[in-house]
Structure 1
Amino acid sequence: MALAIRDVHEHELDAVLAINNAAGRSILSLDKAQLRYFFEHADYFRVAEIDGHLAGFLIALREGSDYASANYRWFCEHYPQFVYIDRIVIASTYHRHGLGRIFYCDVNSFAEVRVPLLACEVFLEPRDDVVVLFHGTYGFQEVGQQRTTPESRQVSLLAKELPSYAYVRDTYLEHGGLPELPWLAGRQLSPAHPVQPRRLAGERHQ
């Protein structure tokens, strides 16, 4: 099995939309305009490809976006810096392949060199103990709950502190920016969050 976690390509958006909207009640549905918004504004939008087939995706945004999600806005009101996981969806054919943990490791690596906090939420109605336990074992803690409308489902708002960020901030971000390395680069860097790469000592332009 050949697995790659990589940036999404524009021509794959229809396939991503199909995976999202086939996920059932656990994932909010999207239309093409909403997915296009993510493609143009998300700080992190990556897919899992297995043997040439899309197996899932994860979308995350930093603070400061105009994204209208009530749960995203809650984190904006409570934390100055974070990466917010809006959704992770794995196609049913590829469940139980460990892709959830692989994605979370990847987005954690993306976030910890940029912000001190990784955030998300899970539905509590209906409660899915597998999802709750997954986030708990990955280091997330509940920081709040909310129901955005009388008709909406209760959610648990979760956050995970990223202790590596303090070192990165003190060593790099406050002294010229991140090294110019491919694994540090984001796919879609919004104007509000430009990464300011610097060259490593002794490195020259080719």
Structure 2
Amino acid sequence: MSWLNRQPGGSIPKPNRRAIVSVARRAGRRPGGLSPGLLPFNCAEVQFGAPKPWSRNQVKQMVPLETPAAIVALDDDALTADEALLRLNNAHATELSYLNLEEMRALVAGAFVAARMAAADAFIIAFDETADYDSPNFLWFRNRFERFVYIDRICVDPARRGQGIARRLYTHVFERARAAGAGRVVCEINAEPPNPVSDAFHAALGFEEVGSAFLSGRDKRVRYFERRI
């Protein structure tokens, strides 16, 4: 939760012991607690025992209504506790390839970056050139580049698309790859069947095509891309 210690036009007076603080979050959840003199984002009403409570419009002018979720590690504990991310992957098996729980756990264990947003809004898995990974797409890059970070899969819950989540996850990988001195981030995009949305997304992020291949075992053609970092 994010906090704010100012109100429009001045500072919030420190409440006394009898101060009444009532917070109704837009999402319908109650915060766990409130520190003196601090207000949470998303509050709809705040009252400090004053004759008139703040109006909803005053509060809306103070702060944004939503705070972006944090990017956190996707680890074995998260997969074991809740298989929602596995279900999200398999709901898009055409683009990502189907996995069972053990296969996804193995990917996460060997990843250079494995990250998620919220509980299961989205996830990304990427490998560096040292990974023990037999994907033909990964091997295509390893046969050509000494250093790289390969984005194996990214998936965003359809209900959360259009909110910049995929871009944030890619940016997270870029930062990690740059810190490691990888030099480039790479990926593949389906050419047959085509994926114009992915084409546009990667072009906007600065990816450039560096090759293509036909995967006979999967009956599809892919194009390979890189972004120098």
What TM-score does the superposition give when structure 1 sets the normalisation length?
0.73
1:135 aligns with 2:202: yes
1:11 aligns with 2:80: no
Letter of the 1:20 counterpart: N
Residues 82 and 108 of structure 1, relative CA distance in 2, 3 Å threshold: same
| Structure whose CA Rg is larger | 2
> Of 79, 82, 86, which aligns to 2:152?
86
Partner of 2:221: 154
Partner of 2:4: none
Letter of the 2:112 counterpart: D
Partner of 1:48: 117
* Cα distance in 1 for residues equivalent to 2:125 and 2:106: 11
What is the CA distance between 1:148 and its match in structure 2? 2.1
For residues 143-193 of structure 1, the C-alpha deviation after alignment (integer angstroms, 9 at most, x for no partner) is: 10011216521001001111xxxxxxxxxxxxxxxxxxxxxxxxxxxxxxx
Q: Which has the larger displacement, 84-93 or 20-29? A: 20-29
**Would you say the 8 A contact 2:110–2:132 is kept in 1?**
no
Task: Provide the alpha-carbon RMSD of the alignment.
Answer: 1.4
Where is the helix percentage greater, Structure 1 or Structure 2?
Answer: 1
Structure 2: state its 5+ residue gaps: 1-65
For these two proteins, the number of residue pairs brought into alignment is 159
Letter of the 2:110 counterpart: H
1:64 aligns with 2:126: no
What is the CA distance between 1:69 and its match in structure 2? 0.1
Letter of the 1:15 counterpart: A
Structure 1: state its 5+ residue gaps: 163-206
Aligned-pair identity (%)? 29
Letter of the 2:219 counterpart: S
What TM-score does the superposition give when structure 2 sets the normalisation length?
0.66
Letter of the 1:6 counterpart: V
